[in-house]
């Protein structure tokens, strides 16, 4: 998810958006955002994003003929970014009506929300919502006179949860749920097990394509980007240890090797270790190299991979960061002791200084580097967004009875049918993904 | 050169630094900068830079024993950045006194200048000098009561020029000039030819190491960095044409290939073309691929490589940028016509829009991407800075008569002697460069 | 499987081994091979192989303490090569008695068989057996007075089939079958489905490790080796099209890209196509590039990928070869027409000449290049052989009832338990695989 | 130079070729070779070579119009291989008459010599000449009734030397010498210095193209080829130390890294060391890694890089080989001591066995691996051969006075003129080199 800065925030006033009278230039006021005046700037961001979302743009072109979402009333709860805006405007072009809230209180790009509101979308979101604001926004999306959703697009399950809790009757008209996150999918499977899932749901998190893109291909680029933006470090000749050789680790290792770093790998899974070895990385224990490396990157998914003992032994200037799925791979808590001095030298960059003057460079306080200090390429988000759109189309148009009250993966046949037709360049989903092929 | 933002500038008042009464916390006022209050922030930047300048830091350690620049009075005129600060503080640790001006009216990092002034250095520089300010600052460095320089460190030759013009007698005490830039070196050779060079000069621009670092190794990283920061483009699967396969082109191609791009090369030099070919890049004429590529990168050193005709034929969303030595590789002027709309979507990013809606993404208006949209890694600047320090030491300590009134390269023997001793890790210049080896 | 030449065959006499009186230097005659005099040469080959089979050699060392196969009577039917010899001698060191036949009438290395016979093994195999010889040899292994096997090690299922057919009662004493080949495993599953499998069987064909080694890692090397040995072609700068981007295709592409070839990929599976794309290979249809490429490599697993129409359009000197699993990927039959001249220029290399003088270079008549023109690295065979040994140990020592009359994969726990202990270098199976780590 | 086996030699009789009556099928007997019956087989080898020598073949096509060597009488002394045959037949097509001897007593491919003789060339060469034979053959080339050479093509300077010594008057008609080898070029420069060079000479050894091809590009492939053919070693996961990071070392390192080896580099030149470092190789002293590596490769150009002390400390199975320019990089002599056992396990492969059973695998007895155990790709030889042909054309057609009695490099202008015209694909020399572009 892109947390790219909302450049003009600082000049905004402090009044809560909920307390303001809001209208767009056409007089429409069915939205609640930070500042409608940022719409033009947000439109620019959306236009940039469109350049890297060829699949959605291709879907729009198709929609000039058919409107596969005609009559669909989609309520959505996702990060509100330029990429989401491209998705929403695509859904709209395909015939859907949309109402939208944010799935995260910090991630909204205010200027994009403004552009959407200006464009006629009912958006309820701003950067820096309180928890109360968060649920208020979601409620404003669903609790409307004379409009009832028939499709849910969720990221994290909060929207679904809210409807379950407050408006269970609404499910009678709902044809299905499309859920993107690990957490949300987990909740759906629990509902399903408990016999409480009352509409079909589509799990768009677990697809080969998405996994490869979110991890291997994406991290191959974001590790470089995240390190550069924060530290301007030169990669050539640096010694780096990468902890973990799953898809994320593979991406990190490949990128750094290509930039001329000397890369070591720690790995406890034998198959992954063997792959690291056959890919030409020296397998080590962290212990063996901790004194000599210039950069330490964690991507194991485990806790406390880099503990205080290791931090104590790193050399002066060592950069430490986390690309894994947990915020606890680096034992940052162990560094909050009186003898160590913390110095914030840049946004997301702390120098932690030992009594003898040694300093290590800690990025994003051990949180995910690729989310905190890099941007997820629009192209990757495009894969997800296209999959979401396809899942909505599938669920909305499926004949009665094809999908029960269960959690489904995007039907392989659909993917195959569309992708398989690579001989017919017009029809291939892959082509959408790749754009210009 | 790093033109990293001076974050606090916007809040500064508009009074010219020349009109302000300035004093650091110790009461010293022999400097002229923007705002002494930024010193702490500048100190952070210097500390970050120190982490990536191991060679200079190693030189400092040595200096605890010997002071090879004891008695040296160095007047300098370079970009004033965190990296320069590390150099100046190293020269000081080696025994030298320093007075410094900026060689560029835009490139000064005000907060670094503040930290230097606070640390007791006589610095005369700020971001956004007028031309008159520029020469005034240089003059303040050399025209001092009771202090006369005996060494010159120049980048561009303006300082040297000023002394020639205004204070020619000063050369009687000057032991030598160290010059870094192509332009400055060119001026020195002209003086030498004309028999007007009156002290020895050291050309630190032309060394294998510097050439490789400034081009191949540096561009291998900065092409990715520059593209990411401006466009967030995903490299994997993109089709890219790189115009020119010199050192810069080689770096760009290697990096993009490693990220999964499909890279084409145009090249007219047969040897370079052969290398591109043997490195696995398809040689093309721009003509052949211009319709299909996603990114066009120029690094030929020639003019008008990408002309309007090609720009007209690029596909929608194509990114165009320049990594070469000239600002005219892309014929940007040809895009300033009424039928095309320019839209500034971000800093350094313009969308140029054709009547049919096609837009190309032009970076840095065709100026050098790596200077405009990326940062030069401190590590690369460290190579240059170390070479400058070594050249000063050499000239300052050379026995009478070793150097005539001529332009010299850093004596190969010195390099070799120091580098050759890799068996003795303490003594190797290379080790300085590489730091931790 | 390595079909490395048996160098001294040509000088052998023509008498069938079955008609000869055979004895080794200790007077033992319970074997039937080509020529016992080749034993010394075979011993050299075995010694070479031992260098690249660290896992088996490590197993032997262990066996100095424990004899996990004490009492085991193993009857085997595999390719008889130096690597098999290392396996057999390891089984023997672990306590087993062995009798062995060849699973292929051509693949026996006569000198290795000689060395085994000289070493006391009952081997029945020679290069160039008739079909009658083949079954006679197998029969000699099992039909022995006073010796009955209790373990079967099979490659292809012929031995198992023979015992089913001729000596079904033998299964009463047999503790299990270890089967390596796709075909053999398929037969076992059929038996199991039909309720006719009367002992546990271990499928050692389907493991991640084996799949990766046999395909990705192995082909990455053997594509280069096979092309070099047959054609001495230089890879740098060559244009190559690889048909299929499965594991084999991935290996071929990675290797050729690294050698400086320009590689195109054809692929119809969308996921694999996407991977090719993100790995930086241009996706094409064979049609588009057939006129320009220097080398065509098939690895799709399909039939008639390269048909006569394509062969007609290739340029002069184009090399065509097959790395896939089928012998019919290249439509070689279509080249057996009167207007085309075939010229055998080297072993495994034919020039097929068109009426206008154009010639294409066809390798191994379209059969598998890596089997015909390269050698499978001993190291890869070592992986398989070690897995076989571990499977034998597991089945032989399993407590009554753990394994039913069914087909099993090597228990993951065992792998994990051993591999997981990488913290304890002595215990890890992975270490065996990797040898010296 | 390719020392590919002459497959049918063993069956040849033992009579010296000089004692045989020889005639080809047309009754011509002006040649002396081993066995004219091998001509067909040699013709196949030449046809294979033609496929990989596109530049010479293109030169031939041109020659259908112009005959730039009409009237030239070329006497040559080079390795006599399939590639040389392609060169000779090209010279002939361009209008020249040729007489040829071998520059090495072992390197002649007898079957190629036979094909040339059958084709009407006056060839005097066979594999296994005595020194007396060697000079006799050269003499037969130049000492002919009614024929006097006007061009010399030499490789090593022996032919030139012979004419200087025996037929100095011959130089009156000679227009120039083209010399390929380091040694021969050295001799020419000495003659020139001494004022004794009486015709212009062209040094075709020292060109960027040739240097890159002979070292970097060629060794990148031949290191893999040489190791595979001798040891079948799997490269993936192996630890390798490469001594020296010049062009040869760079090629070796790049290839092995790409195959998944973990590569260490030793280097004493600081610039090369820096390059190794920035290319991602860990710089070590041999000392540090000698116990752990699987393969040791020398390419320093120095003596005794790998001494007995290191050999003693290598691990069991370590492979040791030499890719450098000297045969003494590995101190093989130190291994000829009584306590060590040598075992020849294959052609070019020795196991040297220590008293405790440890064995190292020594390739080619420490001679050049790429010459002994690999083949030089025809494509590389094609570069040299084309350059030789161009040099002959240049010298033969140069206007009186352009070239003095001195040693010249192939005029850059000529190269540039031809290569620069890449816009005109018909004219480019580069195109010849690359063939199909």
User: Are B126 and B231 in a shared domain?
Assistant: no
| pLDDT (0 to 100) of residue A131 | 94
Q: Which residues of A touch B377 (CB under 8 A)?
A: 232-234
pLDDT over 90 (residue A272): no
Residue in this structure with the two tokens 């571990």, named with its chain if needed: C390
| pLDDT (0 to 100) of residue B208 | 67
Is there a contact between A48 and B231 if contact means CB atoms under 8 Å apart? yes
Q: Touching A: which chains, 3+ CB pairs < 8 A?
A: B, C, D
Shortest alpha-carbon distance between residue C182 and chain B (Å): 34
Residue D392 within any structural domain of the chain: yes
| pLDDT (0 to 100) of residue C7 | 38
Alpha carbon distance C365, C328 (integer Å) = 10
Q: Which residues of D touch C254 (CB under 8 A)?
A: 258
Is there a contact between D52 and C379 if contact means CB atoms under 8 Å apart? no
Here the CATH number for the domain that contains residue A237 is: 3.40.50.720
User: Are A173 and A234 in a shared domain?
Assistant: no
Indicate the DSSP class of residue D27.
Answer: S
Alpha carbon distance D377, D379 (integer Å) = 5
pTM over 0.90: no
Please enumerate residues of A whose Cβ is less than 8 A from a Cβ of C.
Answer: 208-209, 212, 217, 268-271, 273-275, 277-278, 283, 285, 415-416, 419-420, 422-423, 428-430, 433-434, 437
- Give the residue on B whose Cα is nearest the Cα of A220: B259
Element (H, E) at D431: helix D429-434
Query: Is B246 part of any known ligand binding site?
Result: yes
Residue B3 within any structural domain of the chain: no
Is there a contact between D217 and C234 if contact means CB atoms under 8 Å apart? yes
Reported as a single tens digit per residue, the pLDDT across A7-22 is 344 445 678 999 999 9
| pLDDT (0 to 100) of residue A227 | 95
User: For A167-188, what is the mean pLDDT?
Assistant: 93
Is there a contact between B292 and A239 if contact means CB atoms under 8 Å apart? no
Residue B241 within any structural domain of the chain: yes
Shortest alpha-carbon distance between residue B260 and chain C (Å): 4
User: Are C222 and C191 in a shared domain?
Assistant: no
Here the CATH number for the domain that contains residue A422 is: 3.40.50.1480
Among the partner-chain residues D224, D345, D380, the one whose CB lies closest to the CB of C48 is: D345
Please enumerate residues of C whose Cβ is less than 8 A from a Cβ of A.
Answer: 208-209, 212, 217, 268, 270-271, 273-275, 277-278, 283, 285, 415-416, 419-420, 422-423, 428-430, 433-434, 437
User: Are C79 and C137 in a shared domain?
Assistant: yes
Per-position pLDDT tens, chain B of length 437:
333 333 344 445 678 999 999 999 999 999 999 999 999 999 988 988 888 888 788 888 877 778 889 999 999 999 999 999 999 999 999 999 999 999 988 889 999 999 999 999 999 999 999 999 999 999 999 999 999 999 999 999 999 999 999 999 999 999 999 998 888 999 999 999 999 999 999 998 877 667 777 788 889 999 999 999 998 899 999 999 999 999 899 999 999 999 999 999 999 877 788 889 999 999 999 999 999 999 999 999 889 999 999 999 999 899 999 998 778 899 999 999 999 999 998 889 999 999 998 999 999 999 888 877 777 777 778 888 888 998 899 899 988 888 999 998 876 544 443 333 332 322 344 444 444 33
Query: Is D246 part of any known ligand binding site?
Result: yes
Is there a contact between B234 and A48 if contact means CB atoms under 8 Å apart? no
Residue D20 within any structural domain of the chain: no
Alpha carbon distance A113, A108 (integer Å) = 7
Among the partner-chain residues A44, A234, A237, the one whose CB lies closest to the CB of B343 is: A44
Q: Which residues of B touch C278 (CB under 8 A)?
A: 236-237, 260
Shortest alpha-carbon distance between residue A385 and chain C (Å): 17
User: Are C368 and C230 in a shared domain?
Assistant: yes
User: Are C168 and C244 in a shared domain?
Assistant: no
Which residues of chain C, if any, have pLDDT below 50?
A: 1-11, 413-437
Is there a contact between B420 and D268 if contact means CB atoms under 8 Å apart? yes
- Give the residue on D whose Cα is nearest the Cα of C226: D225
User: For A251-271, what is the mean pLDDT?
Assistant: 93
Is there a contact between C212 and A274 if contact means CB atoms under 8 Å apart? yes
pLDDT over 80 (residue A417): no
- Give the residue on A whose Cα is nearest the Cα of B6: A346
Residue C35 within any structural domain of the chain: yes
| pLDDT (0 to 100) of residue D12 | 52
Q: Which residues of B touch D419 (CB under 8 A)?
A: 269-271, 273
Residue C11 within any structural domain of the chain: no
Q: Touching C: which chains, 3+ CB pairs < 8 A?
A: A, B, D
User: Are B295 and B341 in a shared domain?
Assistant: yes
Query: How far apart, in Å, are the Cα atoms of B421 and each of B59, B62, B417, B428, D279?
Result: 16, 16, 6, 6, 22
Residue B323 within any structural domain of the chain: yes
| pLDDT (0 to 100) of residue C11 | 45
User: Are B270 and B184 in a shared domain?
Assistant: no
Query: Is B206 part of any known ligand binding site?
Result: no
Among the partner-chain residues B212, B278, B430, the one whose CB lies closest to the CB of D273 is: B430
Last residue of a domain, one of C327, C358, C373: C373
Residue A426 within any structural domain of the chain: yes
Last residue of a domain, one of D340, D355, D373: D373
Per-residue three-class SS string for chain C:
CCCCCCCCHHHCCCCCHHHCCCCCCCCCCCCECCCHHHHHHHHHHHHHHHHCCHHHHHHHHHHCCCCCCCCCEEEEEECCCHHHHHHHHHHHHCCCEEEEEECCCCCCCHHHHHHHHHCCCEEECCCCCCHHHHHHHHHHHHCECCECCCEEEECCCHHHHHHHHHCHHHHHCCCEEEECCHHHHHHHHHHHHCCCCCCCEEECCCCHHHHHHHHHHHHHHHHHHHHHHHHCCCCCCCEEEEECCCHHHHHHHHHHHHCCCEEEEECCCHHHHHHHHHCCCEECCHHHHCCCCCEEEECCCCCCCECHHHHHHCCCCCEEEECCCCCCCECHHHHCCCCCEEEEEECCEEEEECCCCCEEEEEHHHCEHHHHCCCCCHHHHHHHHHHHHHHHHHHHHCCCCCCCCCEEECCHHHHHHHHHHHHCCCCCHHHHHHCCC
Query: Is D131 part of any known ligand binding site?
Result: no
Last residue of a domain, one of B373, B398, B420: B373
Percent of chain A residues topping a pLDDT of 70: 90
Query: Is D248 part of any known ligand binding site?
Result: yes
Q: Which residues of D touch A260 (CB under 8 A)?
A: 277-280
Is there a contact between A262 and D282 if contact means CB atoms under 8 Å apart? yes
| pLDDT (0 to 100) of residue D61 | 82
Among the partner-chain residues D212, D271, D437, the one whose CB lies closest to the CB of B208 is: D271
Which residues of chain D, if any, have pLDDT below 70?
A: 1-13, 208-209, 411-437
Is there a contact between B278 and C260 if contact means CB atoms under 8 Å apart? yes
Domain, as residue range, for A97: 25-206+376-430
Among the partner-chain residues A212, A271, A434, the one whose CB lies closest to the CB of C208 is: A271
Shortest alpha-carbon distance between residue A300 and chain C (Å): 15
User: Are B258 and B200 in a shared domain?
Assistant: no
User: Are C74 and C183 in a shared domain?
Assistant: yes
Alpha carbon distance C254, B260 (integer Å) = 12
| pLDDT (0 to 100) of residue B429 | 45
User: Are A122 and A85 in a shared domain?
Assistant: yes
Inter-residue contact A279 to A302 (CB < 8 Å): no
Q: Which residues of D touch A262 (CB under 8 A)?
A: 280-282
Q: What is the tally of structural domains in chain C?
A: 2
| pLDDT (0 to 100) of residue A51 | 82
User: Are A146 and A229 in a shared domain?
Assistant: no
Residue B38 neighbours by CB distance under 10 Å: 25
């Amino acid at each position: 998810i892109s947390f790219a800065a909302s450049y003009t925030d600082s000049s905004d006033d402090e009044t809560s958006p909920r307390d303001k009278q809001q209208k767009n230039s056409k007089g429409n006021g069915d939205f609640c955002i930070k500042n409608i005046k940022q719409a033009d700037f947000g439109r620019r961001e959306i236009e940039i994003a469109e350049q890297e979302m060829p699949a959605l743009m291709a879907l729009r072109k198709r929609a000039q003929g058919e409107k596969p979402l005609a009559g669909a009333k989609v309520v959505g709860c996702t990060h509100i970014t330029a990429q989401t805006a491209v998705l929403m405007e695509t859904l709209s072009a395909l015939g859907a009506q949309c109402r939208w809230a944010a799935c995260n209180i910090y991630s909204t790009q205010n200027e994009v929300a403004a552009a959407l509101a200006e464009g006629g979308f009912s958006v309820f979101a701003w950067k820096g919502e309180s928890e109360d604001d968060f649920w208020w926004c979601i409620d404003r999306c669903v609790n409307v006179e004379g409009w009832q959703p028939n499709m849910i697009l969720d990221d994290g399950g909060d929207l679904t949860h809210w409807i379950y809790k407050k408006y269970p009757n609404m499910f009678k008209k709902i044809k299905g749920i499309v859920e993107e996150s690990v957490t949300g999918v987990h909740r759906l499977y629990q509902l399903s097990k408990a016999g409480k899932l009352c509409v079909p749901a589509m799990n768009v998190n677990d697809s080969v394509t998405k996994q490869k893109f979110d991890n291997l291909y994406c991290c191959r680029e974001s590790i470089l980007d995240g390190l550069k933006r924060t530290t301007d470090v030169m990669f050539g000749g640096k010694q780096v240890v990468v902890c973990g050789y799953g898809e994320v680790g593979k991406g990190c290792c490949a990128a750094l090797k290509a930039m001329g770093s000397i890369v070591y790998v720690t790995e406890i899974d034998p198959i992954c270790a063997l792959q690291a070895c056959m890919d030409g990385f020296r397998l080590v224990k962290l212990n063996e190299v901790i004194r000599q490396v210039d950069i330490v990157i964690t991507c194991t998914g485990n806790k406390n991979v880099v503990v205080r003992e290791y931090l104590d032994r790193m050399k002066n200037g060592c950069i430490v960061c986390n690309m894994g799925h947990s915020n606890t791979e680096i034992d940052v808590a162990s560094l909050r002791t009186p003898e160590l001095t913390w110095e914030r030298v840049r946004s997301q960059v702390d120098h932690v200084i030992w009594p003898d003057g040694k300093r290590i460079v800690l990025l994003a306080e051990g949180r995910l580097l690729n989310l905190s200090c890099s941007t997820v390429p629009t192209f990757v988000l495009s894969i997800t967004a296209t999959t979401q759109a396809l899942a909505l189309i599938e669920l909305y148009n499926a004949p009665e009875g094809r999908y029960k009250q269960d959690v489904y993966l995007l039907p392989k046949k659909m993917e195959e049918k569309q992708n398989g037709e690579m001989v017919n360049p017009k029809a291939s989903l892959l082509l959408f993904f790749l754009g210009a092929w």
